[in-house]
Amino acid sequence: MNAEVLAVSVDSEHSHKAWINGDLGKINFPLASDMTKEIARKYGVLDEKLGIALRGLFIISPEGHVKYSVVHDLGIGRSVGETMRVLKALQTGGLCPIDWNEGDELL
């Protein structure tokens, strides 16, 4: 989709390896460890009281501008399908109506 994926977690490298060797399985994108929690803090997803990061997802333009962001509580997973729909909408360069999908008319 002409996009790069980068995952960042406040977990350690060792925790990442355990996830990849277990439930997560092989991934084909970089997974970075944010042990200092600096990135989570800067993106506004860090729960300072608990010292954990909420589930944040960001689409950032090549120029470095956040074009889409969503932050979920820990008990809610993210939707790959919705993320792809939003990325396609952003790539149209047009104005997409509610529930727009690829192939639909723009406003």
Mean pLDDT by 10 residues, the chain (107 residues): 94 91 89 96 96 96 96 92 97 96 96
Q: Around Cβ 31, how many Cβ atoms within 10 Å?
A: 17
Percentage of the chain with pLDDT > 90? 92
Domain residue limits, the chain: 7-92
User: Cβ-count burial of 40 within 10 angstroms (0-12 exposed, 13-18 middle, 19+ buried)?
Assistant: buried
pTM for the whole structure: 0.86
Name the CATH topology of 7-92: Glutaredoxin (3.40.30)
